[in-house]
A and B are shown apart, each in its own frame.
Chain A
Amino acid sequence: SQTIHQWPATLVQPVGSPLSLECTVEGTSNPNLYWYRQAAGRGLQLLFYSVGIGQISSEVPQNLSASRPQDRQFILSSKKLLLSDSGFYLCAWDSTSGLTGELFFGEGSRLTVL
C-alpha cells in the first residue's frame, strides 16, 4: 500500500534562518506531488506542485522554493524565513495514471517562525 511521510512534524525557527521540509512517498511510482500551506483560519493554499523529477510549478510568489530530486521525494525550502512563513505545511500526492483527483495527504509539519 502507498504511504506518505513528512518530517519534521514540528519546527521552531528564528526569522532569517533556513528551512527544509521533506516529504517521501512509498508504494507508488511517478506520483504528482504537492505542497500546501494552512495558515490559521485561512484554509489550504497550494504552494507548489510537481508532475515529475525536476519539474516544479509555483502557484504563488513567495519566500519558499521546492525541489524534487527523486521520483518520490519532494522538498520545501527557504533560505531566510519570514514571520509570515509560519503555518501548517502539508505534502500530498496523487496518481498521474488516474483522473480521480483524490489527494493523499501526509501528517503535516507545523512551522513556527519567531
Chain B
Amino acid sequence: AQSVTQPDIHITVSEGASLELRCNYSYGATPYLFWYVQSPGQGLQLLLKYFSGDTLVQGIKGFEAEFKRSQSSFNLRKPSVHWSDAAEYFCAVPSGSARQLTFGSGTQLTVLP
C-alpha cells in the first residue's frame, strides 16, 4: 500500500529562518502528493499538491515543495518562516480503491521569536 513517512516529529526554527520539512513516500508509480497544515484545534488546510509536470510546486502562504523521484521525497520548504506558520504539517498520498488519503504522522513546527 502507498504510504508516506515524516521522519521529524518536531522542528523548531527562529522567525525569519528557512524551513524544510521532510516527507518520503512509498509508491510504485509517480504518486499524487499533498501537504496539509493544521493550526491548533482546527481542521486541515491544503498547502499544495503535486500531480505531474514541474517537480517544484508552489503553494499558499509562501510554501513550496519539490518532488524528487530519485529520493522518493516531497519535502516542504519556506525561505523565511513567520510566527503564524507554527502548526502541524502533514504529508499525504492517495491509497486504496476509493482514493482515500493516507497521512504521515505529522511534523509539529514551533517558531521562536
Say yes or no: A102 contacts B43, CB within 8 Å. no
Q: What residues of A have a CB within 8 angstroms of the CB of B99 in the complex?
A: 94, 99, 101
Interface readout for A72-114 with B: 1 if CB under 8 Å, 0 if not?
Answer: 0000000000000000001010100001111101111010000
Say yes or no: A110 contacts B41, CB within 8 Å. yes
Say yes or no: B94 contacts A44, CB within 8 Å. no
Q: What residues of A have a CB within 8 angstroms of the CB of B32 in the complex?
A: 100-101
Residue A103 contacts which of B41, B101, B106 (CB distance < 8 angstroms)? B101
Residue of B nearest to A32 (CB): B98
Instruction: Known contacts A101-B32, A102-B49; decide if A46 and B100 are in contact (CB<8 Å).
Output: yes
**Measured between alpha carbons, how far is A107 from B44 in the docked complex, in Å?**
8
Q: What residues of B have a CB within 8 angstroms of the CB of A32 in the complex?
A: 98
**Measured between alpha carbons, how far is A100 from B90 in the docked complex, in Å?**
17
Q: Chain B: interface residue count, which band? A: 20 to 34
Interface readout for B36-74 with A: 1 if CB under 8 Å, 0 if not?
Answer: 100001111110010100000000000000000000000
Say yes or no: A43 contacts B42, CB within 8 Å. no
Instruction: Known contacts A49-B100, A103-B101, A110-B41; decide if A43 and B46 are in contact (CB<8 Å).
Output: no
Residue B103 contacts which of A44, A59, A99, A102 (CB distance < 8 angstroms)? A44
Instruction: Known contacts A107-B42, A107-B43; decide if A43 and B34 are in contact (CB<8 Å).
Output: no
Instruction: Known contacts A43-B105, A51-B98, A107-B42; decide if A102 and B34 are in contact (CB<8 Å).
Output: yes
A28 within 8 A of B: no
**Measured between alpha carbons, how far is A49 from B97 in the docked complex, in Å?**
12
Residue B45 contacts which of A44, A49, A100, A105 (CB distance < 8 angstroms)? A105
Q: Which residues of A contact B (CB under 8 A)?
A: 32, 34, 42-44, 46, 49, 51, 57, 59, 90, 92, 94, 99-103, 105-108, 110
Q: Which residues of B contact A (CB under 8 A)?
A: 32, 34, 36, 41-46, 49, 51, 90, 94, 98-106
